[in-house]
Amino acid sequence: MNRSTNTGSAVSSASSAAQPVHWVVYGNNPAARYCQLYLVQQLPRERICVSLVAPGGKVSGAGFLFGDSAMEHCEIGIDPRDLLQSNTADILLALRIQSEANPQAGHWLASGGYGFMHQGQPFFHWWQRSRTLFDASEFNLVCRAAEAGRYGDIPTNAPEVYRSLERGLQFSYRDYCDHLDLAAQSRKLPVYRQQATLSPVDEHRFDLQLADGTRMQAGFIIDCDGALLAESALHNGQGGRSLPLPASRMTQTLSGCRKRLTAAHCTIGRDGWQLNLRGLRLDHKVIPAEYLRSYPHAWAGNLIGLGAALNIGGLAVDSLAQTQYQLRQLLPLMPLQTEDGCLRAAFNRQVATYNREVTDLHSLCHWLAGHTRRLSPGARAQLALFRASGSTLQTDIPLISAETRLLLPTLAGFWPRPGTIPTTGGDSDYNRWVRKLSADYRQAATTLPEYHCYLQSLCTSSSREKLCE
Amino acid sequence: MKKIIILGGGTAGWMCAAAMARFLIPRGIAITLIESDQIGTVGVGEATLPHLRFFNQTLGIDENAFMRATLATYKMGIEFQHWGRIGDAYIHPFGEYGRELDGIPFHHLWLKARQSGRAAPLDDYALPVKAAAAGKFDFPHPNPRSILSTFSYAFHLDAGLYARFLRDFAEQLGVERVEGRVDTIGRDERGHISALKLQDGNSLGADFFVDCSGFRALLLGGTLQTPFLDWSRWLPCDSAVAVPCESNRPPPPYTRAIAHSAGWQWQIPLQHRTGNGLVYARDHLSDDQACQRLMNSLPGPTSTEPRILRFKAGRRKNSWVGNCLAIGLSSGFLEPLESTGIYLIQIAITKFLALWPQGGSYPAGRREFNRQMSLEYERIRDFLILHYHATEREDSAFWRYCRYMAIPDDLRLKMALYREQGYIVGYGHGLFLQPSWLAVYHGQRILPKTYSPQADLLALDEIDRLLSGYRRLVQKGVAAMPDHASVIARQCGMRPLPVPPTAMSLYGGIAL
Ligand SMILES: Cc1cc2nc3c(=O)[nH]c(=O)nc-3n(C[C@H](O)[C@H](O)[C@H](O)COP(=O)(O)OP(=O)(O)OC[C@H]3O[C@@H](n4cnc5c(N)ncnc54)[C@H](O)[C@@H]3O)c2cc1C
């Protein structure tokens, strides 16, 4: 018997002497810059060269990335501490969400880190019994730390339940782009600051026609802007697909002092929402009866749309976060020799699944905020399941933790139907336990350094090393 | 909801009763199980997956007591013989192959090294493969950095003893057992099931019914007429003949799945005997030929007559309809090639308990349950089809059919992606994740055309160092492990060691 007899035909060299494939990234936003740096960082130079074509104009807007997005910047060769030290970004731990009608009564919301399983019950279930006494955020170290303006490394001897301290990021797009521009410059990456349009090569492939008249040959084009996808849709006579997400218009104002915080603020109103972060105020006004239109296929021919180009909104998941995810899907499927239909099909499928998740989350948030009366089918199923059994739909792509997903409807006053969630355990025991737990979370948060002290400490090498671990 | 009736006392029925006894009886819900000695159980289902440990732990079942009661042995994977080609053999382990580096999956590093002739066989980088092949076993190490943490384990158990064990457990916690044959099923004006009438005239009513009646699917199929989705065009085996035999060799810590000209044969080593069975397609092998082939190839003597079982691959369109939930063979059947039957029972129970509407309103939970279960079934189905389809065998009409049959689109895409650039499609939920797909692709001779260019970010020497270091660790790890038989003796003896923690994963500590 032969063990491990796979002696089939030899794997061909991936690094054959073929010319590097030219990838062109188009867009003047954080995602486009991120994309260029990502591809260059993740693939050997002999295989790929990546140009950025960034149409001119001022970059405006601001955004936040949840999860461990600070650390994810290692994937583009950027030390997340440099983003903090250069005052390009701040850590984001939690959002303070309030309603326009009652700005005093706000809630802290993080993308994860709520409580833990207790006596076989998930956090959302055991917390139900004390929800009139304790806000859910009281059992979340991230929220506690954001509220107290603290941030730092969790002591290694801290109990398991306090260990989750996800490092999100918040930044103005302009600062962020400036930072990434410097990185691209120092790595001598080709950047062209001009408008461009598609220039058909054949039925399925395009080059780029730059505003200065140059024709730029492209193996593949990644559109992070949307203009090229729209143009190609015109070519092919295809329009976008209407989503149940209201379109909005954004205005930006500088809102006074630029205090460095680990929290951002989101005020939800009936006809829009306002985001305050890093001294910027972004007003998003919903455009009545107008809905977002998105493209069903992210990749057609040699044109690939990512992030904002696919137009699935940005209320809860920033278009940069969307791009990051889509890039991670694209990387192992990038055709480096010949383009193969199966790679494209797989990528389109994966992106479609992801986009559906994002759309559902956005749809739910808009609906809960009262911006629209249309719900996506996924969001409707989510809400129905929440009401019926206080649980969440299973997903292969958890954009936010299950607990955060369950907490979202409660911010708008929706709760599971009475009697849905089992209550077990002795009451006095439970009350004592839960009170002590809340106090412990509070205490644990105060052991973290003040955020500004943490920022100062970044100058010393020892704390720099810690963040990198 | 006040009362639930479980119809059927096979593995599905008693696993369900045990879990409900543990979680629903304390909430004031009465659980009754009806079974018929006259009908009996299917009596097979003896190879399990690591998830069963999690089930036991959640229920508070002592693993060592369970080992003793079910005369179980440990299992680190499945050995497949003659699948890719006659003469081939590989182990699909419950564990990892190597370790990824800087986000680059291990197999790409291995493929690159292999291309330059600087890699050992892939199996040399999988501790559970080497350990199983050497007849070694030990509990995984709790330190995730240790090479000895890179696997997980399951059991081979005696199905009859297991049902008995669960029955004792459930009855102790308050499950009422009724012996009798269900004859007629009563329904209310909504079409929901309201009562089960026994042959002796007794009628038992409840708010909710769990159909664990095996292939009969008395409630879901018979009464509620839920359509059956037939997958036999992809999984053409429709029969099995089973017989236990004596074992006079130390039990290997893995199941054997040996392909033959019209299907395959299992060998499941228990403490006191070996379970054997031959799975076949009747279009290609008669019952007599199957019996003869099995009896001629037993690894030990037997005094038992072989038993023939019939089945069809597929599942009921929905497992939960109205107030009736089907668990086990009544909800679907996928052949036992990867020992998935008991796993499917387990997750149906846990999913149901998680989505169960205490308030009594079913539709949302039911819809989600059915969606999740259909995804589970389909993902497992595709993985099973891969074993048949990824073959170079042409020595019989059966294998020629399997090799050239049209397969589900999803699987076709998955295989094309692996062939094209070694990409293994991943998903968050589902039983078989990347290491399993790699084991079967590789074990059945599918080689990617290229490795990921990411691997070119590392110099060959660096990869070489990494690979040889890992390989040495595997060798040292295996050398330090005791024999499988001695661990069984220790754990079933007077001074068993505490068992390690469990997770709902096939691969031990790794989060994929
Ligand atoms: C050949 C083969 C090999 C397998 N190998 C494995 C394996 O290695 N690993 C694995 O995980 N799974 C395996 N399985 C699957 C596994 O055997 C089953 O999932 C498991 O045994 C559960 O069966 P069950 O309880 O659903 O059905 P059964 O064991 O058939 O039980 C049905 C129950 O319903 C009762 N019943 C039926 N009708 C009535 C009635 N009218 N009135 C009263 N009671 C009634 C019966 O008395 C019985 O108690 C295998 C299956 C087959 C066919």
Of B416, B443, B450, the CB nearest to A11: B450
Q: Does A11 touch chain B (CB under 8 A)?
A: yes
Instruction: Tell me the three state secondary structure of residue A292.
Output: strand
B279 CA closest ligand 1 atom index: 1
* CB atoms inside a 10 Å sphere around CB A133: 11
Residues 119-138 on A with a CB inside 8 Å of B are 120
The total number of structural domains that make up chain B = 2
> By C-alpha distance, which of A451, A437, A424, A458 is closest to A162?
A437
In this prediction, residues B100-126 reach a mean pLDDT of 95
In a domain, A263, yes or no: yes
> By C-alpha distance, which of B353, B268, B418, B407 is closest to B55?
B353
3-state secondary structure B1-19: CCEEEEECCCHHHHHHHHH
In a domain, A30, yes or no: yes
In a domain, B483, yes or no: no
In this prediction, residues B158-171 reach a mean pLDDT of 95
In a domain, B190, yes or no: yes
* CB atoms inside a 10 Å sphere around CB A432: 11
Residue A466 pLDDT? 45
Please identify which residue in the block is written with the tokens 């693993």: B63
Task: Name the least confident of A253-267, B52-66, B397-411.
Answer: A253-267
Distance of CA B25 to the CA centre of its chain: 28
Q: Please tell me the distance between residue B82's alpha carbon and the centre of ligand 1 in angstroms.
A: 28
- CA-angle at A23, arms to A22 and A24, nearest 5°: 120
**Proportion of chain A in helix, strand, coil states, percent, rounded to 5:** 40, 25, 40
In this prediction, residues B372-387 reach a mean pLDDT of 98
Are the beta carbons of A387 and B427 separated by less than 8 Å? Answer: no
Are the beta carbons of B358 and A345 separated by less than 8 Å? Answer: no
Longest dimension (CA), chain B: 78
Residue A8 pLDDT? 52
Residue B224 lies in domain: 3-44+157-228+316-374
For B359-493, where are the alpha helices, taking DSSP H only? 363-389, 397-404, 409-421, 434-443, 460-480, 484-492
In a domain, B36, yes or no: yes
Q: Does A18 touch chain B (CB under 8 A)?
A: no
Q: Report the C-alpha gap between A287 and A371 in whole angstroms.
A: 10
- B358 band by pLDDT with thresholds 50, 70 and 90: confident
Q: Report the C-alpha gap between B217 and B8 in whole angstroms.
A: 10
The total number of structural domains that make up chain A = 1
CB pairs under 8 A between A and B: 160
Q: Report the C-alpha gap between B106 and A464 in whole angstroms.
A: 30
Q: Please tell me the distance between residue B214's alpha carbon and the centre of ligand 1 in angstroms.
A: 5
For A67, A123, B229, the CA distances from A401, given in Å and listed in that order, are 9, 12, 34
A157 CB-contact burial (10 Å; exposed 0-12 / middle 13-18 / buried 19+) = exposed
**CA distance to partner chain B, nearest, from residue A260 (Å):** 32
pLDDT at residue B275 tops 90:
yes
A233 CB-contact burial (10 Å; exposed 0-12 / middle 13-18 / buried 19+) = middle
Residues B273 and B256 grouped into a single domain = yes
In a domain, B341, yes or no: yes
Chain B CB contacts of A397 below 8 Å: 428
Residues B222 and B327 grouped into a single domain = yes
In a domain, A196, yes or no: yes
Q: Report the C-alpha gap between A379 and B323 in whole angstroms.
A: 25
Q: Which active-site residues of B does the annotation give? A: 75
Residues B294 and B163 grouped into a single domain = no
In a domain, A115, yes or no: yes
More confident residue, A423 or B440: B440
In a domain, A253, yes or no: yes
**Which residue lies with its CA nearest to atom 19 of ligand 1?**
B341
Q: Report the C-alpha gap between B231 and B411 in whole angstroms.
A: 14
| Strand residue runs (E) in A18-113 | 21-26, 48-53, 62-65, 89-92, 94-99, 102-109
Residue B404 pLDDT? 98
CATH of the domain at A387: 3.50.50.60
Q: Does A385 touch chain B (CB under 8 A)?
A: yes
Point out the domain boundary residue: B282, B310, B338.
B310
> By C-alpha distance, which of B208, B255, B195 is closest to B357?
B208
Point out the domain boundary residue: B374, B389, B408.
B374
Are the beta carbons of B449 and A11 separated by less than 8 Å? Answer: yes
CATH of the domain at B188: 3.50.50.60
Distance of CA B72 to the CA centre of its chain: 16
In a domain, A353, yes or no: yes
Instruction: Tell me the three state secondary structure of residue B54.
Output: helix
pLDDT in tens, B491-505: 999 999 999 989 889
Residues B190 and B305 grouped into a single domain = no
Residues B193 and B247 grouped into a single domain = no
In a domain, A13, yes or no: no
Q: Which two tokens stand for residue A244?
A: 């149940």
Q: Which residues of A45-69 are buried (b: 16+ CB within 10 A; e: fewer)?
A: eebbbbbbbbbeeebebbbbbbbbb
Residue B266 pLDDT? 98
Please name the residue of chain B whose CA is at the shortest distance from the CA of residue A389. Answer: B357
More confident residue, B359 or A265: A265
> By C-alpha distance, which of B83, B292, B298, B241 is closest to A1?
B83
Chain B CB contacts of A21 below 8 Å: none
Around ligand 1, the residues with Cβ closer than 6 Å are B 7-13, 34-36, 39-42, 44-48, 181-182, 212-214, 216, 218, 240, 242, 277, 309, 311, 328-330, 336, 339, 341-342, 345
Residue A153 pLDDT? 77
Q: For chain A, which ranges sit under pLDDT 50?
A: 4, 10, 15, 462-469
Residue type, B430: G
pLDDT at residue B147 tops 90:
yes
Task: Evaluate whether A40 touches B454 at the Cβ level (below 8 Å).
Answer: no
Are the beta carbons of B122 and A6 separated by less than 8 Å? Answer: yes
In a domain, A320, yes or no: yes
Residues 149-178 on A with a CB inside 8 Å of B are none
A221 CB-contact burial (10 Å; exposed 0-12 / middle 13-18 / buried 19+) = buried
Q: Does A77 touch chain B (CB under 8 A)?
A: no
Residue A2 pLDDT? 57
Distance of CA A215 to the CA centre of its chain: 34
Taken in order A322, A325, A328, A329, the sign of the CA dihedral is negative
Ligand 1 pocket test: which of B42, B46, B204, B344 has the largest number of ligand atoms within 8 Å of its C-beta? B42
Residue type, B268: I
Residues 404-443 on A with a CB inside 8 Å of B are 417-422, 424
Residue A7 pLDDT? 52
A34 φ, ψ (degrees, to nearest 5) = -60, -45
Q: Report the C-alpha gap between B115 and B99 in whole angstroms.
A: 19
Chain A CB contacts of B19 below 8 Å: none
Q: Does A380 touch chain B (CB under 8 A)?
A: no
Residue A194 pLDDT? 95
Q: Which residues of B320-346 are buried (b: 16+ CB within 10 A; e: fewer)?
A: bbbbbbbbbbbbbbbbbbbbbbbbbbb
Are the beta carbons of A336 and B428 separated by less than 8 Å? Answer: no
Q: Please tell me the distance between residue B406's alpha carbon and the centre of ligand 1 in angstroms.
A: 30
**Percent residues over pLDDT 70 in chain A:** 91
Residues 305-334 on A with a CB inside 8 Å of B are 331-333
Residue type, B407: I
In a domain, B179, yes or no: yes
Q: Does A338 touch chain B (CB under 8 A)?
A: no
- CA-angle at A239, arms to A235 and A240, nearest 5°: 130
Q: What ipTM was predicted for this assembly?
A: 0.91
> By C-alpha distance, which of B278, B274, B273, B308 is closest to B293?
B278
Residues B366 and B255 grouped into a single domain = no
For A156, B234, B262, B345, the CA distances from B259, given in Å and listed in that order, are 52, 16, 8, 26
Point out the domain boundary residue: B356, B374, B392.
B374
Q: Please tell me the distance between residue B212's alpha carbon and the centre of ligand 1 in angstroms.
A: 8
Of B26, B361, B420, the CB nearest to A343: B420
Q: Please tell me the distance between residue B430's alpha carbon and the centre of ligand 1 in angstroms.
A: 23
pLDDT in tens, B454-489: 999 999 999 999 999 999 999 999 999 999 999 999
Chain B CB contacts of A417 below 8 Å: 359, 361
Residues B295 and B172 grouped into a single domain = no
pLDDT in tens, A64-92: 998 777 788 999 999 988 999 999 999 99
* CB atoms inside a 10 Å sphere around CB A459: 10
Q: Report the C-alpha gap between A260 and A149 in whole angstroms.
A: 9
In a domain, B401, yes or no: no
Residue type, A331: L
* CB atoms inside a 10 Å sphere around CB A469: 6
Q: In chain A, what is the straight-line distance between the N-terminal and C-terminal CA atoms, in Å?
A: 46
Chain A CB contacts of B125 below 8 Å: none
Residue A468 pLDDT? 38
Residue A265 lies in domain: 20-468
Residues B243 and B306 grouped into a single domain = yes
